Structure 1
Amino acid sequence: MKLAALTDIGSCRQENQDNYCGQQLTDGSGWGIVCDGMGGANGGRVAAKIATDTMLQYFSRQLKTLRHGEEKQFIMRGFDITNRAVYDKATSDPDMLGMGTTGVCAYIYENMAHIVHAGDSRAYLFRGGQIRQLTRDHSMVQQLVDSGQITREQAAAHPQKNLITRALGVSANIVPEYNRCGIEKGDIILLCTDGLTNMVSDEEIALILQETTFFDAPGVLVDRALLGGGQDNITVLLMGVESTEETNG
């Protein structure tokens, strides 16, 4: 397991309200989380930081209690605790009222990746030059796509594409979405905010991951998003399912 990550304010924002955290663990496993905060003034930045800090604390304290076969319950419980931490801050501090954050978290253990998310930050699997989205956006536009009212191409340019339907911290309870997928040596799990995916197509992302060394790839992806306009904060976190080679091509 290896990790590489980068966040950037982008070209149009006054502050970076994204945050991320990840850890390589001694048993060869690893985890990571990427968050995209929302809320006036400093609210979004605070929400995203609380979320990443809470998940770090959760993994650090509770991972030793995890039993094989209970990974889904473990990662979902972490999201519940994280949601409550953000919500408690939002409701106890008038300056933070209404804040929240997207979140996408992956825990990789042995031959499986466990993914939980809320909002439109995404997880992808990159394997053998191909990329596959593992998460489904919790957004108004995605609902329109799912119901057949608009196409995926129309969704990309929709004026309401940033309206999300789920987020951490906006209510006392949350129903995050869980997915899992088998992984192999050489695979990469990509976690990212919409500052990347709104500026760079999935095909371009796959090509960059194919042609760039692992530890250089976050910088190249961020640069490509900036070149595309950099209209939002950009965060990329890569989790590589091999420990010795630095290239994926």
Structure 2
Amino acid sequence: MYMNLASSGHSDVGFVRESNEDSFLVDDERGLYAVADGVGGLPHGSLASRLAVQFFRALIRDGHECSTEEELRAVVHEVHLNIVESGLLVGGDNGIGTTFSAARVLDDKMILAHVGDSSIFLKNGQGLQKISRNHTLGDELVEKHGPEAMSDMPEHYMHTLTRCMGQDIDFAIDVATHSLKKGDSILICSDGVTNMV
């Protein structure tokens, strides 16, 4: 089944911060969409997110189809290695880092890849569902020990990333495939929007 795709992308600083470290990719022709959000606490977050999107776009244009979970995982891992290498050049000992959430839409399915705390939502006949999970201390603690495990955790630790691009050579990428039907919508957003959804 062939689907017509319509998309848009927007980035806004909001009311809290002075700068925005988000970057995004919208490519209806290839059915490719991504959001990257530079990691706070590391230098050059804006550069890290921008590079992630640029490397991703370049790899796709070089012929990587990303038509399976394995192919998308391999491309995202290659982007990660490029971010690590770039971080050595500009970020000093700490390197640079960014979250990365991407979707590849192919006919009646979407393949997603995800690292960090940006989010991917799917809106369909069953409503709006978050289909990615946050790689944060708080979310992983709740997953292992239940919601009561967060009661003693200081607020700032809850949002500490456990995975991102550019920081850990042996990092893991979540990938999944979801069915799509005519009228379904996909939302990929950074944590600033996720907290309002």
TM-score bracket, normalised by the shorter chain, equals 0.7 to 0.9
**How far is the alpha carbon of 1:143 from its aligned partner?**
1.3
Give unmatched runs, 5+ long, in structure 1. 202-249
Partner of 2:26: 22
Distance 1:42 1:126, change over 3 A: same
Counterpart AA for 2:107? E
**Conserved? CA contact 1:33–1:105, under 8 Å:** yes
| TM-score normalised by L of structure 2 | 0.88
Q: Percent identity between the aligned chains?
A: 22
1:134 paired to 2:131:
yes
Runs of 4+ in 1 over 6 A off after TM superposition: none
Give me the whole-angstrom Cα distance separating, in 1, the residues matched to 2:193 and 2:55: 24
The answer for the alignment partner of 1:49 in structure 2 is 50
The alignment's C-alpha RMSD in Å is 2.4
> 1:86 aligns to what SS in structure 2?
helix
Deviation at 1:97, TM superposition (A): 3.4
The AA in structure 2 aligned to 1:133 is K
Unaligned runs of 5+ in 2: none
Query: What residue number does 1:10 align with?
Result: 14
Question: Is the contact made by 1:84 and 1:173 (CA closer than 8 Å) also made in structure 2?
Answer: no
1:99 aligns with 2:96: yes
Q: How many residues align?
A: 192
- In structure 1, the partner of 2:161 is 164
Q: Secondary structure at the match of 1:147?
A: helix
Are residue 182 (structure 1) and residue 183 (structure 2) matched? no
Q: CA deviation at 1:179?
A: 1.1
List per-residue Cα deviations over 1:98-125 (Å, max 9, x = no partner): 3200000000001110010001111110
TM-score normalised by the chain length of structure 1: 0.70
Name the structure, 1 or 2, with higher relative contact order (CA <8 Å, separation 6+). 1
